Amino acid sequence: MEKNKVRLTIGGLDYRLTTDGDVNYIKNLAEEVDEIMTDLMQNHSKLSQVQAAVLCALDYADRYHQAERNADYLKAQIQVYMEDAARAKTEAEMARREAERMTRDLRSIRRSLEEKDQL
């Protein structure tokens, strides 16, 4: 995979990275982190860059874990829906078979009645 070099500025410091990811995506991430860190340092003048970076990292870790929990919940919901769909499919197949059986029975009864009428 091709390596891309990208220059980022976060918290007033320049970083040069090599990535095999999308450069624009990496730049957007860096801009988002820079914005959060800048806001933290402007709103809390006693915070150092390191402290702002740690708080930013904690925020992202929290978001990550919340997203994981949400994804796990959604997976569980999908599993329930899949089980419901499989059950409904089985029930529909059973109902179709019963309808076919009843149709055959009805045809047989009609034939029997027609034969009686002909006698």
Measured distance CA(11)–CA(38) in Å, rounded: 6
Measured distance CA(59)–CA(71) in Å, rounded: 18
Domain extent listing, the chain: 1-47, 62-119
- In 3D space, the residue among 34, 28, 36 whose CA is nearest the CA of residue 9 turns out to be 34
* DSSP single-letter state for residue 48: -
* Each residue's pLDDT expressed in tens, for the chain with a length of 119 residues: 789 999 999 988 999 999 999 999 999 999 999 999 999 999 999 999 999 999 999 999 999 999 999 999 999 999 999 999 999 999 999 999 999 999 999 999 999 998 888 86
